[in-house]
Structure 1
Amino acid sequence: MKEYQTITEISGPLVFAEVDESIGYDEMVEIETADGRELRGQVLESADDLVAIQVFEGTSGIDRDASVRFTGETLKMPVTEDLLGRVLDGSGTPIDGGPDIVPDERHDIVGEAINPVSREYPEEFIQTGVSAIDGMNTLVRGQKLPIFSASGLPHSELALQIARQATVPEEDEESDDGEGSEFAVVFGAMGITQEEANEFMADFERTGALERSVVFMNLADDPAVERTVTPRMALTTAEYLAFEKGYHVLTILTDMTNYCEALREIGAAREEVPGRRGYPGYMYTDLAQLYERAGRIDGREGSVTQIPILTMPGEDDTHPIPDLTGYITEGQIVMDRDLDSKGLEPPVNVLPSLSRLMDDGIGEGLTREDHGDLKDQLFAAYAEGEDLRDLVNIVGREALSETDNKYLDFADRFEAEFIDQGYQTNRDIEETLDIGWELISLLPKTELNRIGEDLIEEYYVEDPSVDADTDSEEAPADD
C-alpha cells in the first residue's frame, strides 16, 4: 500500500488528499494520525490528483501530518451464521463483549443486484401478530413495506413487536427437519439515542428474540458517515443468511430519516448542489439501492423482507423522504397521532395505509378464503364511519339514521377491538379475521355489499341489536 502525507483540506466528515495514482471509488482508506490512532475511511470522490475521503470515526485529531493509505479493496462485511445472537456497531464491529467473529466469507456491502428474471414474485403470507397489518395491510415474504411515523409516535414499540412476533406459518414449512423454514431478524438502528438502544436491547433479551437476531446499533452521537454504511452492513448480512443459508429474514431499518440526514450532511460538506429541501439530488437512487435489496430468488429457499421505518418531518407525507420511499416500496403502514392520543396500541391508521402485494398473499391456502372480501368490507365500513364522524360534528348524532349510527358504532369498536391490541398481544390470522367478522356483524346484512353470499352464509352472525333495531324501524310500516 502506498502511503501519502498530502492532506490538503478537512471539511466536516471529509478529508481531501492529493494523489499521484488512480484511486477507485468506494476504496477503503486507513488514516494514521500524529498521535498514533488509526481511523478508517472510504473514498467518496476520486479525480486524477485529488480524492475525497469520508472518515467513519470522524475527523477529530486529523491534521496535515496524518498518513493516508489506500487498501485497494472496498468495504466488506464478514458474514457467518454465528452472527445470529450478536450485537454490532454501525460499521459491523461486535459491541456485546462476545468472542471475535470468525467469518465464513467477506461480502461487499454494496451487494449484487438481483436479476429481474431470477426474482420470484412475493406471495407468501408473513404473520406479524398485529391485526392492523395482518388483516388489513398484509405483509408478504420478499416485500418492502415501510412504516411512516412521526416524532413522538411509538414506532419503536411496533418494530419490536413485529421483530418479536413475526413467524413463518407452519403449513408453509418446506421440510420435516425445518430446513428453509427458520425465521431470522436483522435489526439495523441508525442515529438512535442511548435510551432507545437500551430499550431495544432490553426487549430483545427479555423475549429471547436476540437468539435469532443480528442487531446493528448506530447511535446519535456516532459519526454521520457510519450511518451511511449501517443499512448496507445489515442488508449484506440479511442476504447471506437468506440466499446462502436458507433463512427467511425480516430486516427492520430504523430510522431512515436519520440516514437521509447523514446523506444531506455529507452532501453539504462536499459542496454539492442541493435538491429538494437541501437533500442530495441522488437520494432517490441511493434509497432505491437499499430498498431493492429485498426479494426472493428462484431456486433459493430464503427470502429478504424489509420494513424500513421513517419519521416524517413535520408529519408531512409530501416531504422528500416519505415521498421517495413511497415511490420505491410496495405500500406503507401509517401511524396516526390522533389514534395515539386515544391510547390505541399500535396507533396504525389503516385507511391511508396500503400493501400493494396483499391480494397475492391472502386467500385460501395462504390465510383464509374470506380474508379478501372481509378486508374490503372492513375498509369500506370504517371509511363510512370516519366520514359520518365529520358529519356528526355539524348536525349531531340524533339527525342521523339508524344505519348511520351503526356505522359510527362500528368505527368506534373497530378502533377499540381490532386496531387496539397492545404491544404484547400476538394474534394469529384466524383470531384477527374472527374479530373482523364479529365487528362487521354490527351492520345489517344488507350493507355487506363487498362480501360474497356464500361467505356471508358461513361467517356472518347477526348481532341481536341489529334485529331489534330492524324490527323497531319496520313496525310503523306494518301498522
Structure 2
Amino acid sequence: MKIRYLKLNEVRGPLIVIDGVNDAAYDEMVELDIEGEGRKRGKVVQIDGDKIIIQVFEGTSGFSLDNCSLSFAGKPMRIQLSRDILGRVFNGIAEPIDGAGEIYSDVTYDINGRPMNPVARKYPRNYIETGISAIDGLSTLIRGQKLPIFSGDGLPHNELAAQIVRQARISEESGNFVIVFAAMGIKHDEADFFRKNFEESGVLERVVMYMNLADDPVVERIITPRCALTAAEYLAFELGMHVLVIMTDMTSYCEALREISSSREEVPSRKGYPGYMYSDLASLYERAGMLKEDINEGKSGSITQIPILTMPNDDITHPVPDLTGYITEGQIVLSRDLFQKGVYPPINVLPSLSRLMKDGIGKDYTREDHSDVANQIFSAYSYVQEVRALAQVIGEDELSEIDKKYMEFGRQFEENFVRQGFDENRNIIETLDIMWKLLSILPESELNRVNPDFIKKYYNAYTTMSF
C-alpha cells in the first residue's frame, strides 16, 4: 500500500523538502496532488537520512506547505515507446503536444538509459552525408560518432540544424535512417520554425521531436535530452535503425543544471556550474555508439549525436564547450567573421575537426581521394591565413605570384565551397569535385599532400574549369 505524505517542510524554487521518509530511492518518481493546481510529477534528487529533496518537473507555483500531498512511485521515470513515435512532437517530458493522441505501448524504458558495455561496442565506420560541403568534405560525420557544433549568440545554428535534419542520409538502408530532435530552452518562434520547416520539406515522418520551450519549467530542461536519447536507444537497438540525434542548445541545458544546483545549495565550481557537470554531460554524450550485431541479436542500429551549443561571448574556453570537447570526438566551429561576410553556413574549417573521419572515408566509403584532398585543402587554407596577414602589412599588390594564387584560393574557397544555400544539398561526389576545382587554382607543385596518382586522375580534369 502506498503511503501518502500530507505536509511539506520547505518549498525552495523548483525543489520541495519533506522529512520522515524512510524508503525513498535516488531518481525515484514522485506523484504530487496540489489543491487547485491538479497533479504534478517530480523525482528524488537528494537523500539525507529521512529528509528528502524532490525536484518538481512543472515548477512549484501554487505550492504551499499545507496544500500538497505526495506519494512515491517506487521506480524511476519511464516513457512508453513504439514505432509510432516517428512523426510525433512531444514536450520536454515526453508528453504529446501535436494533438495526435497518446502513445500506447507495453514497452517502457527508463530515461536514465542502459549503460553500453564497452566490450559490446562496435568501432564507428561509414559516414552520414549531411549535404553540407564544409562538413562532409573536411569534418565528415561518422556513424556512431558524437560531433558537436560550437556556435555563438546570433549565429545561424538553428538554420544549420534544420538543414542537417532535412538533408542527412546514409549511403544504404535509407529507409532505416531516422532523426531524433531535442530542443531545450528555445523560443516559440524557433519551435515554429523547426516544425514548419520539417513539415514543408516532408521529413517530419522520419523525425521525433522533443521540445522544451524557454517559458517551460527549467527542471524539464534536464529531462528533455534524456527522453530523446531513450527514444533513440529504442529505435536503434530494438528496431535496428540508424538514428541521428540533434540536441540544441546544450548551453541552455547546462544553465538549467547550474540553476538547480544553486537551489540545492551545492558548492559551485567554475563560473558557478556544478562540479559534476562533466560527468552529467558524459552521461548524455556517451549514449552514442553502435553495438556489435552478434551481441545485439543481429540488429545493426546506431546512435550518432550532434549536440549544438552556444559559446557565451564566443569563448571556446567557457566550461560548456571546454567540457564538451573533452568528451566528444571533435567539433564543428561556426565563425562570426564569416557570418558578417554573409557566408552561410559560416563554418570555420581550421578549428573544426572530426577525429573519427579517417576511419569512415576513402575507397570503400566516399571516394579514394577524399583523405588526401581534404588534407591538401586544410594545408592550403591554413597558409592563406598567413598570406592575408602579410597582405595587411605590405599590400596585396606586393605579394609574390604564388601568394596571389593562394589569396584567390582563399576567396574561392569561402565563396564557392563553404558558402552554400539553405536549400542546397550537395552529395559527396559534388563536394569532392569542388575541392579539386579549388586545388586547380594552385600550381601542381604546391600539391605536396596528395598521392601523385590522384593528381594525374583528378587535377588535370579541373584545371580548365572555373567557378
2:37–2:62 CA contact under 8 A, matched in 1: no
Corresponding position: 1:127 with 2:121: no
Partner residue of 2:142 out of 125, 140, 143: 140
Give 5+ residue unaligned stretches, structure 2: 294-298
- Structure-1 residue corresponding to 2:52: 51
CA drift at 1:248: 0.5
Partner residue of 1:238 out of 232, 236, 242: 232
Q: Which runs of 4+ in 1 moved over 6 A?
A: none
- Provide Cα deviations, 1:344-364, integer angstroms capped at 9, x if missing partner: 110001000010000001000
- Provide Cα deviations, 1:438-458, integer angstroms capped at 9, x if missing partner: 010000000000001000000
Partner residue of 1:206 out of 191, 200, 216: 200
Kindly provide the amino acid, as one letter, of the partner of residue 231 in structure 1.
P
Corresponding position: 1:379 with 2:381: no
Kindly provide the amino acid, as one letter, of the partner of residue 430 in structure 1.
I
Corresponding position: 1:73 with 2:75: yes
Which SS does the other structure have where 1:460 is aligned?
Answer: helix
Partner residue of 2:107 out of 99, 105, 108: 105
1:6–1:18 CA contact under 8 A, matched in 2: no
Which SS does the other structure have where 2:142 is aligned?
Answer: coil
Q: Distance in 2 between matches of 1:292 and 1:43?
A: 24
- Pairing 1:40-439 to 2, within 5 Å after superposition: 40-65=41-66, 66-170=68-172, 173=173, 182-299=176-293, 300-439=299-438
CA drift at 1:34: 2.2
Q: Distance in 1 between matches of 2:50 and 2:128?
A: 52
Which SS does the other structure have where 2:40 is aligned?
Answer: strand
CA drift at 1:423: 1.3
Q: Which moved more, 1:407-416 or 1:96-105?
A: 96-105
Q: Distance in 2 between matches of 1:193 and 1:18?
A: 38
Q: Distance in 1 between matches of 2:264 and 2:307?
A: 27
CA drift at 1:390: 1.2
Q: Which moved more, 1:32-41 or 1:5-14?
A: 32-41
Q: Distance in 2 between matches of 1:30 and 1:102?
A: 21
Kindly provide the amino acid, as one letter, of the partner of residue 420 in structure 2.
Q
Q: Distance in 1 between matches of 2:336 and 2:37?
A: 50
Q: Which moved more, 1:6-15 or 1:81-90?
A: 6-15
Q: Which moved more, 1:31-40 or 1:414-423?
A: 31-40
2:290–2:303 CA contact under 8 A, matched in 1: yes
Kindly provide the amino acid, as one letter, of the partner of residue 270 in structure 1.
R
Q: Distance in 2 between matches of 1:19 and 1:157?
A: 51
1:153–1:337 CA contact under 8 A, matched in 2: yes
Q: Distance in 1 between matches of 2:91 and 2:386?
A: 47
- Structure-1 residue corresponding to 2:296: none
Q: Distance in 2 between matches of 1:109 and 1:182?
A: 23
Which SS does the other structure have where 2:275 is aligned?
Answer: coil
Q: Distance in 2 between matches of 1:315 and 1:345?
A: 18
Aligned length in residues: 458
Kindly provide the amino acid, as one letter, of the partner of residue 400 in structure 1.
L
Q: TM-score, normalised by structure 1?
A: 0.94
Superposition RMSD in Å: 1.2
1:257–1:311 CA contact under 8 A, matched in 2: yes
Which SS does the other structure have where 2:129 is aligned?
Answer: coil
1:182–1:247 CA contact under 8 A, matched in 2: yes
Identity %: 56
Which SS does the other structure have where 1:126 is aligned?
Answer: strand
1:161–1:424 CA contact under 8 A, matched in 2: yes
CA drift at 1:465: 10
Q: Distance in 1 between matches of 2:218 and 2:58?
A: 9
2:257–2:273 CA contact under 8 A, matched in 1: yes
Q: Distance in 2 between matches of 1:288 and 1:199?
A: 30
CA drift at 1:375: 0.1
- Structure-2 residue corresponding to 1:13: 14
Q: Distance in 2 between matches of 1:345 and 1:301?
A: 35
Corresponding position: 1:456 with 2:458: no
- Provide Cα deviations, 1:397-456, integer angstroms capped at 9, x if missing partner: 122110000000000000000110111111000000000000100000000000010000
Which SS does the other structure have where 1:236 is aligned?
Answer: helix
Give 5+ residue unaligned stretches, structure 1: 467-479
2:21–2:52 CA contact under 8 A, matched in 1: no
Q: Distance in 2 between matches of 1:465 and 1:20?
A: 76
- Structure-1 residue corresponding to 2:441: 442
Kindly provide the amino acid, as one letter, of the partner of residue 293 in structure 1.
R
